[in-house]
Amino acid sequence: QVPLVESGGGLVQPGGSLRLSCAASGNIFNIHPMGWFRQAPGKEREFVAAISSDGNQIKYEDSVKGRFTVSRDNAKRMVYLQMSNLKPEDTAAYFCNLGSAMLSRGGTYYYTPSAYWGPGTQVFVSS
């Protein structure tokens, strides 16, 4: 088991910012890519961002490019999602995931999630 616990969600006005954190336990954190996903009510869970184990490869879903920044601190076993210029459509439960793989093909990164998920943190963007 690799428990993952997200934090940092809340209510924010459109245009505002939030920083989500994901704390991981276990010694294997540093060798795995990490991903952020979100799920809005009535919708499928969707990919948001991913970062490789060394932090050098990063991938974003198109709608968050330029607004969200994913980062990690392997010494602290933490991964972060800095969200700026938030929009009402960003409202969702956000989940971090311990990745199985993050491969590069033709200049594009492909993130494969594992079965390890955190319980999620809720983000509400509303005026």
- Cβ distance 98 to 29 under 8 Å? yes
pLDDT (0 to 100) of residue 87: 98
Q: What percent of the chain has pLDDT over 90?
A: 87
C-alpha pair distances (Å), 94 with each of 6, 18, 21, 53: 8, 12, 10, 20
Structure tokens at 112: 């494969």
pLDDT of residue 97: 96
Pairing of strands 58-60, 46-51: antiparallel
pLDDT at 27: 80
Evaluated on CA atoms 106, 58, 18, 116, the torsion sign reads positive
In the predicted model, what is the mean pLDDT of residues 18-22? 98
77-119 pLDDT tens trace: 999 999 999 999 999 999 999 999 999 888 888 999 999 999 9
1 pLDDT exceeds 80? no
Q: pLDDT tens, 24-80? A: 988 888 889 999 999 999 999 999 999 999 999 999 999 999 999 999 999 999 999
Name the strands in the sheet holding 4-7, side by side, starting at the edge strand that comes first in the sequence. Answer: 4-7, 18-24, 78-83, 68-73
The string over 79-105, giving b where at least 16 C-beta atoms fall within 10 Å of a residue's C-beta and e elsewhere, is: bbbebeebeeebbbbbbbbbbeebeee
Quote the radius of gyration of the chain (alpha carbons, Å): 14
Give the 3-state secondary structure of residue 97: strand
Q: Which residue has the higher pLDDT, 20 or 115?
A: 20
